[in-house]
Structure 1
């Protein structure tokens, strides 16, 4: 999901339709929407996709009603907003998103009532490898490609996500002052839980025979950055077919560094990874980028990822 590319037409059309409906029917003010209802109802909060939804539910607790925009099993950057969803974004006390992942969301969010999680942490650059120039130009023409200067997959580093949790608590407290302390307390608790997860990863990946991750696409840069691993993505974008040159480069590197596992993803076809694994004499395993809801929750899925990494990289307890 690093090379995000989507037309903004859907978001713009939905926003235009919303404006028409608003003019005809009227709507509540942003100031009213930014707090919980006067009868003690919950603050309405929107989260763009699963990891942010999980985090917002933890911090929001019983004081917030959290709506996720992206359904399970859907790639976040494939999201097309309905009129109802655009309305939810307009009326939300707070929208939690990451700019650049979902262009339709970027177009529809209200600047005064939105929180871009990427602004809370130090980001890392987007993947640096490139395909042949002609292939890149074709992808841009087909998908309306818009390159990000940073890697958006920050939720795969529990330490960074803990920082986001703290900032989210502050933003929710400002949006719903009546429950400010509850948001801040739950943010601190969530940050501590993520700190424990970070310690588990640090210890679990401290002694590995190889520290090279060959992944279907470059989604694990923050995980690699945090735990001193080396990520080698077959592609930048899960929708882009790698060139023969790129496959050859990755195969050569994988053999040289003793890679025994090529990582695939549940929402991406494993065919290319399987071809590469056959060339290298390796096996494949699923490493979940958590872009969509897993069978459990964020914490259990991340711990499953840790076990997968330990096995694939030959880490000793």
Structure 2
């Protein structure tokens, strides 16, 4: 299957090239300006690079709003864009399964490739849970257990802060004259991330109820960092369907613990969350996992920061 996918991409790139040659050529932004061309895989990488690069780079995003970051299939146009790029930034192969296959067909000898999570520990910490939580964690559905590796590292803002030098270094290597700008932009963004982290820490500091229920297991790094308990209805994959037994256990847990709200993720089907809410009388609302760009948010500043602030406001309903 992988061989077929590579062949498909290769043929698609050739067809795109032939088509382009048969039409009037349209100059690319990169060739007509002094800006760097940076391609990013998923939404968090796009927001991060945009903040650090500022006006010195043309930054593009591959996975669009509400697209599946795990199972995205790059188009021929996307491959061509990476072929013309100076830098390609992705999160991790634990999230973007398709990156290795993409890079196998890219022909760009000068491309700088940045794995933003390089050096980060994506494994979740072991923590002490209540008996009710441990009972839920022991529950298996179709032989599947929740994974200890969570690729959603960006939901802990300090993970992003720690990795910013990777972006500064890559941009500076490609554009040495911009080093001062990149460094200053990174420092400014770093302060915003510190402020965001402080807001979360202060909000949850004295909370007695520290458990929240989500439809998609994406908030492990956030929960670990702020000493919260994430109860996930499904696993890391949005494609895994919950069993009737597991659903019944979750409903009992929500009732017993007086959980006030069930969170589902923007772009996902909310049927499971709705089913639990119907049986328990709880509210359902969106919690952004930011795998892809939120279609319902629009900010002139930074959508990542806006989404994380909205997440904080929504989490206050459960963490109190």
Q: TM-score range by the shorter chain?
A: 0.7 to 0.9
Moved more, 270-279 or 48-57: 270-279
Cα deviation for residue 180 of structure 1 reads 2.4
Q: 117-126 or 200-209: which moved more?
A: 117-126
Rounded to whole Å, the distance in 1 between the matches of 2:156 and 2:259 is 23
Query: What is the Cα deviation at residue 171 of structure 1?
Result: 2.0
CA contact (8 A) 2:261 2:285 kept: yes
Equivalent residue, structure 2, for 1:131? 141
Residues 110-167 of structure 1 show CA distances to partners (whole Å, capped at 9, x for unaligned) of: 696211122142222499764223xx6xxxxxxxxxx986211011111111112232
Q: CA RMSD in A?
A: 2.9
Give the number of the structure whose residues are more often helix, by fraction. Answer: 1
SS at match of 2:214: strand
Equivalent in 78, 82, 102 of residue 85 of structure 1: 78
SS in structure 2 opposite 1:228?
coil
Counterparts of residues 1-317 of structure 1 (less than 5 Å) = 8=2, 11-17=5-11, 20=14, 41-98=34-91, 99-109=93-103, 113-125=112-124, 130-133=140-143, 150-236=149-235, 237-294=237-294, 295-296=297-298, 297-313=303-319, 315=320
Unaligned regions of 5+ residues in structure 2, if any?
20-29, 127-136
* Structure 1: stretches of 5+ with no match in the other structure: 1-6, 26-35, 137-146
Q: Does the CA contact (< 8 Å) of 2:16 and 2:76 recur in 1?
A: no
Q: CA separation of 1:158/1:59 partners in 2, compared to 1, >3 Å: closer, same or farther?
A: same
Give the CA deviation at 1:40. 6.0
Question: How many corresponding residue pairs?
Answer: 285
Q: 3-state SS of the aligned residue for 1:77?
A: coil
Deviation of the 1:8 alpha carbon: 4.6
Does the 8 A contact of 2:16 with 2:77 survive in 1? no
Indicate the residue corresponding to 1:28 in structure 2. Answer: none
More displaced, 121-130 or 227-236?
121-130
CA-CA distance at 1:196 after TM superposition: 0.8
Output the TM-score relative to the length of structure 1. Answer: 0.80
